[in-house]
Amino acid sequence: MRYISTRGQAPELSFEEAMLTGLARDGGLYLPETWPTLTQGDIAGFAGQPYEEVAFRVMKPFIGDTFDDDTFRAILARAYAPFGHVARCPVVQSGPNEFVLELHHGPTLAFKDVAMQLIGQMFEVALKRRGESVTIVAATSGDTGSAAMEAFKGLDAVSLFVMYPHGRVSEVQRRQMTTPAEDNVHALAVDGDFDDCQALVKAMFNDFDFRDGVKLAAVNSINWARVLAQVVYFFTSAVALGAPGRKVSFSVPTGNFGDIFAGYVAKRMGLPVDRLLIATNRNDILHRTVATGAHVKEGVSPTMSPSMDIQVSSNFERLLFDLYDREGAAIQQLMADLNGKGGFTLSQGAQARLREEFDSARCDEDETAAEIKQSFAETGVLQCPHTATGIKAARDMRGNPATPMVILATAHPAKFPAAVEAATGQHPPLPPRMADLYEREERVTRVPNDLTAIQTLIKDRI
């Protein structure tokens, strides 16, 4: 399988190269040149298999010969062993034909662990084999950074720098980033918002001297391997609910569009997905795009679901590539308009295709709190604020009641205790394996929103 850039100007890469590189040299994102498909029989055969085995079968066509079968199976086993649930991503019923897909049983209690744990192990094997080391920079609104810290801490071949917006992550998120003691991982608190952090990462990748000098790699959701790892749980959950004999819909709390794009990939591969619901908080650029066809940036407004406080939704570019018949030049123009003019309007054809696959709903702060409260009343289960936006979207846009609706629970409520407690009066406790988080020592460097200053710091530390 070869990988091509959404902007059409970068060299084609293998899976291993695309994984180790992250962002393409033309500013685009890598995608497989074709979507591999699974037969209905292949999908039916997933029933009753462990998560790791389904992961192996779903991902194998994408990774080609990057890892032989035994090595890949060993990587998967190591990646998911730290999860606190043997099903890895269990499905729990939350209402009539409505289900919650719990993606928060990993080491940092958010779905980012599902992909990051795997990437850590894949990087280690690939880099050791090549005799190389890399510097990873990651921008995070909270969950990516902590997941990356856990996945990469202690690895010899990787130095990791995580940039998060100072003061805009929850205390649990911050502590998960600032308490790992291993000296190859560094937390940087940036004076700016998440989009500033993301822009800094992009700028570092576009500075080719720096990029080559420090051997820069990215593990943000722009990294194809991360999106790929997330495709797996769309299959496991749908099969648990009757696929391929039955269609399933998904409601996905969305920020950078990586998670829901993985659902779109599962559909392209042959999974019978009915609707894909984009759930946003009041930072609703994607909801507005579905509703009006206009993809226009507004300021970011902090919410109780900070991992979705985004107006530049990087992985949306991957969907645009398909919506525009994989024309790199068209994507280049759209992205230039997004940067230069603050937005663009989809062509009629692209908008129609977007609506064929996706619905969307927006959930403001009061509605988020109300959903957390109502879910607790209905099920006795506390849900995190991100998940609550997904519940709202699922109920607003229910569609055919005979089609199972799966809501992705993207984080554990204990990661956002203040919001959960304000909504329900209940304090969500940390799982026992993490109970000492508040006693561990923090280590963080506060940095200005300044590319050169941060580049200098990185060069000094590696």
Ligand X SMILES: *Cc1c(COP(=O)(O)O)cnc(C)c1O
Active site residues: 112
**Does residue 287 interact with ligand X by CB under 6 A?**
no
* Cα–Cα separations (whole angstroms), residue 269 to 129, 220, 247, 292: 31, 23, 14, 28
- Nearer CB in complex with ligand X: 312/451: 312
**Does residue 258 interact with ligand X by CB under 6 A?**
yes
- Nearer CB in complex with ligand X: 56/111: 111
- Tell the smallest beta-carbon distance from residue 126 to ligand X (Å): 23
**Does residue 110 interact with ligand X by CB under 6 A?**
yes
**Does residue 140 interact with ligand X by CB under 6 A?**
no
- Nearer CB in complex with ligand X: 125/411: 411
**Does residue 386 interact with ligand X by CB under 6 A?**
yes
**Does residue 263 interact with ligand X by CB under 6 A?**
no
**Does residue 255 interact with ligand X by CB under 6 A?**
yes
- Nearer CB in complex with ligand X: 211/412: 412
Q: Which stretch binds ligand X (CB under 6 A): 16-24, 151-159, 256-264, 371-379?
A: 256-264
- Tell the smallest beta-carbon distance from residue 19 to ligand X (Å): 17
Residues in 289-318 that interact with ligand X by CB under 6 A: 307-308
The residues facing 99 across adjacent strands are 93, 406
- Tell the smallest beta-carbon distance from residue 130 to ligand X (Å): 29
Pattern 55-94, binding to ligand X, x per CB under 6 A?
A: ----------------------------------------
- Nearer CB in complex with ligand X: 248/411: 411
Q: Which stretch binds ligand X (CB under 6 A): 53-61, 150-158, 232-240, 254-262?
A: 254-262
**Does residue 259 interact with ligand X by CB under 6 A?**
yes
The C-alpha atoms of residue 68 and residue 232 are separated, in whole angstroms, by 19
**Does residue 112 interact with ligand X by CB under 6 A?**
yes
**Does residue 411 interact with ligand X by CB under 6 A?**
yes
Pattern 148-187, binding to ligand X, x per CB under 6 A?
A: ----------------------------------------
Q: Which stretch binds ligand X (CB under 6 A): 257-265, 266-274, 340-348, 398-406?
A: 257-265
**Does residue 257 interact with ligand X by CB under 6 A?**
yes
Total chain residues near ligand X (CB under 6 A):
16
- Which of 225, 228, 242 shows the shortest CA–CA distance to 406? 242
Q: Which of 410, 419, 434, 455 binds ligand X (CB under 6 A)?
A: 410
The C-alpha atoms of residue 43 and residue 238 are separated, in whole angstroms, by 10
Rounded (10°) CA dihedral 265, 279, 150, 148: 60
Is residue 20 within 8 A of residue 157, CB to CB? The reply is no
Q: Which of 256, 283, 368, 383 binds ligand X (CB under 6 A)?
A: 256
- Tell the smallest beta-carbon distance from residue 235 to ligand X (Å): 17
- Tell the smallest beta-carbon distance from residue 221 to ligand X (Å): 5
- Nearer CB in complex with ligand X: 111/376: 111
Please state the three-class secondary structure of the chain as a single string. Answer: CCEEECCCCCCCECHHHHHHHCECCCCCEEEECCCCCCCHHHHHCCCCCCHHHHHHHHHHHHHCCCCCHHHHHHHHHHHHCCCCCCCCCCEEEEECCEEEEECCCCCCCECHHHHHHHHHHHHHHHHHHHCCCEEEEEECCCHHHHHHHHHHCCCCCEEEEEEEECCCCCHHHHHHHHCCCCCCEEEEEECCCHHHHHHHHHHHHHCHHHHHHCCEEECCCCCHHHHHHHHHHHHHHHHHCCCCCCCEEEEEECCCCHHHHHHHHHHHCCCCEEEEEEEECCCCHHHHHHHHCEEECCCCCCCCCHHHCCCCCCCHHHHHHHHCCCCHHHHHHHHHHHHHCCEEECCHHHHHHHHHHEEEEECCHHHHHHHHHHHHHHHCCCCCHHHHHHHHHHHHCCCCCCCCEEEEECECHHHCHHHHHHHHCCCCCCCHHHCCHHHCCCCCEEECCCHHHHHHHHHHHC
Token pair belonging to 177: 């980033």
- Nearer CB in complex with ligand X: 241/411: 411
Pattern 214-253, binding to ligand X, x per CB under 6 A?
A: -------x-------------------------------x
- Nearer CB in complex with ligand X: 124/357: 357
- The footprint of ligand X (CB under 6 A) covers 110, 112, 143, 221, 253-259, 307-308, 386, 410-411
